[in-house]
Structure 1
Amino acid sequence: MTELSLSSAAVRTESPRLDFSVLGSLTVTRGDGFVLTPTPPKLRLLLAMLILRANQVVSADWLIHGLWGAHPPRTAVTTLQVYISKLRRALIGPDWRTVRGVIDTDTSGYVLRMAGHGCDYLRVRSLGQQARAAEASGDLAEAARLLSESLALWRGPALADVRGGSWLNSQAKALDEELTDLRERWIGLELQLGRHRSLVGELYRLVEEYPNWETLYHHLMIALHRSGRTADALDIYGEMRIRFVDEYGMEPGPVSRRLHQRLLCRDPALNDLSISQFSA
């Protein structure tokens, strides 16, 4: 490559697409695959706060409180301005002159604009809404496909590698709860679609990952029963009961106990594919 072509490559000015990810570790990736994630902890925290309030103007005071809590340094306003400048440069990369309209200054504060860019949690919410619409129209297979696509965007606990205060921690927990809801919906649809056999392996994995999530045991027991493995389903109940009694000193809840009785009786209603949730 000639010196001229190198110089030309170094001053590209078109705005590249950026993909912001918070469903797992914090990452920023340019459209060509170049990773732009900042490494300083304060810049990572600042970026995470802006992402979680994407397309919303946030005040300097709010950002300062998020960065330093109730006792910010006297230079907080100036330091925040420096951080914003550094973050803007970090989101450019070494071979671009500018990325227009990513972090804008507003009279009331700052805003991270997502137009032309991507964000995993916003994509997950969009897919979740589309899935609800598909389910409401009776297209369960499409709803399940959309939820599966949304689940694939999760790489681990939200913002797992970002240190923040109580607000950021609560937002991360709220995102993880959204994952719980998406999984519940997807499993329910898969059961209604008669895909219980293909669910068994995933449900075994989830039960090990989330041993306190009682509803997962229900889904696994039903999937096993519908796959002709009622004895295995009863074993799962026994394992759950031992775990709950030994670790928490309590019996499984009434829904679990009722489901156990229905399995013992081989209740034919348990094979009704329209049923994906069970009550006492």
Structure 2
Amino acid sequence: MKFGILGPLLVQGSGGDILTPSATKPKIVLANLLVHPDRVVSSRQLTEELWGETPPRTAGGALHVYVSKIRKLVDERGTRPRYSTIATRPPGYVFSMSGHDSDIDQFNRVQRQATALRKAGDSEGAVELLEQGLALWRGSALADVRFTPRLMRTAQYLDELYAASCEKKFEISLALGRYSELVGELYAFADEHPTRERVHEFLMLALYNTERTNDALRVYTSLRNVLRDQSGLNPSPRLQRLQRIILSQKLERLPALHY
């Protein structure tokens, strides 16, 4: 069985059928268990996630019902596993990933492999692996789950992992000289993340190295305006230095990482 949190919540049976619960509260329970695999999630935490600090008197029974329904779902219809995927373990429940696949585990594994390849000098192989990992994302993390404070923090953390992986791929690709093929993707990513300076840095480098100096300077100006409007700050000294170098045009081609 496959489980996914890198996008809308996903439960996929071994035959490919989609078994994701549709009701709001079971989704919250399942999401909390999936983001803490092989670890006990207390009944108290799950109760707070479902009802806040003032749960109803029937909260304990209702939680038990939700967990039972999810347990039947993830143990798959028509099967009688020796051990349930969701085990009761005081003070709560534990979701065992043994024998199952999850997209976050696959993503983390690919990230480690990409890092190892890059250290070994295989930058092209590292980019290929990073692209494989990024392809696992189906949208924003836990996109269709009603966010509780804990789940919101988890989703933000996961989305930051995605952004950081994209930046790593951009960085290595620029070092390989893939300027032209990155411009469109960098523009789109910068639009989605208007205050991420590193992305704008990469876009400026790609544009300058494809002889689009004016466009590179416009990217800097746009970033500076956004930062001033939102926080009253200027771009970092690193970005300011890059702008000055582009303005001076002292280099025919800017190295991707060492300017």
Give TM-score scaled by structure 2 length: 0.90
Range that drifts further, 230-239 or 38-47? 230-239
Q: Secondary structure at the match of 1:63?
A: helix
Which residue is equivalent to 2:160?
A: 177
Aligned partner letter, 1:192: A
Query: Offset at 1:92?
Result: 4.9
Shift of 1:184: 1.4
From 230, 237, 244, the counterpart of 1:254: 237
| RMSD, aligned α-carbons | 2.2
Matches within 5 A, 1:200-215: 200-215=183-198
Kindly state the Cα deviation for residue 70 of structure 1 after the two structures are TM-superposed.
Answer: 2.0
Instruction: Encode CA deviations 1:28-66: one digit per residue, 9 max, x unaligned.
Output: 112322110101111000000000011112222232222
Query: 75, 78, 92: which one pairs with 1:96?
Result: 78
Of residues 234-243 and 163-172 in structure 1, the stretch that sits farther from structure 2 once superposed is: 234-243
> SS in structure 1 opposite 2:46?
helix
SS of residue in 1 equivalent to 2:40: coil
Contact 2:71 2:84 in 1 (8 A): no
How big is the shift at 1:22? 1.1
With 135-144 and 237-246 compared, the bigger mean Cα shift is at 237-246
> Larger radius of gyration, structure 1 or 2?
1
Matched-pair contact (CA < 8 Å) for 1:67–1:164:
no
- Aligned-partner SS, 1:23: coil
For 1:114 and 1:182, how far apart are their aligned partners in 2? 24
Partner residue, 2:200: 217
2:31 paired with 1:53: no
Distance 1:54 1:267, change over 3 A: farther
Equivalent position of 2:179 in the other structure:
196
SS at match of 1:271: coil
Q: Give the paired residue count.
A: 258
Kindly tell me: are residues 242 and 108 of structure 1, through their superposed partners in 2, closer, same or farther at Cα, counting changes over 3 Å? Answer: closer
Task: Determine helix, strand or coil for the equivalent of 1:135.
Answer: helix
Aligned-partner Cα distance in 2 for 1:79–1:246 = 47
Equivalent residue for 1:111, pick from 87, 90, 94:
94
After superposition, the Cα gap between the structure-2 partners of 1:156 and 1:188, relative to the gap in structure 1 and judged at 3 Å, is same
CA–CA distance in 2 between the matches of 1:173 and 1:220? Answer: 24
Once the 2 structures are TM-superposed, how far is the Cα of residue 250 of structure 1 from its aligned partner? 4.2
Tell me, yes or no, if the aligned pair for 1:57 and 1:108 is still in contact at 8 Å: yes
Q: Which segments of 5 or more consecutive residues in structure 1 lack a partner in the other structure?
A: 1-17
Q: 1:234 to 1:88 in 2, by over 3 A?
A: same
Matched-pair identity in %? 38
- 1: distance between equivalents of 2:229 and 2:61? 55
Gaps of 5+ in 2: none
Maintained 8 Å contact 2:47/2:55: yes
Alpha-carbon separation, structure 1, partners of 2:179 and 2:34: 37
Secondary structure at the aligned position of 1:58 is classed as: strand
Equivalents in 2 of 1:246, 1:75: separation in Å?
49
Q: Secondary structure at the match of 2:12?
A: strand
Q: Against the structure 1 CA distance between its residues 263 and 67, is the aligned structure 2 distance closer, same or farther, given a 3 Å change threshold?
A: same
Q: Would you say the 8 A contact 1:27–1:35 is kept in 2?
A: yes
* Deviating more after overlay: 195-204 vs 261-270: 261-270
* TM-score after normalising by structure 1: 0.84
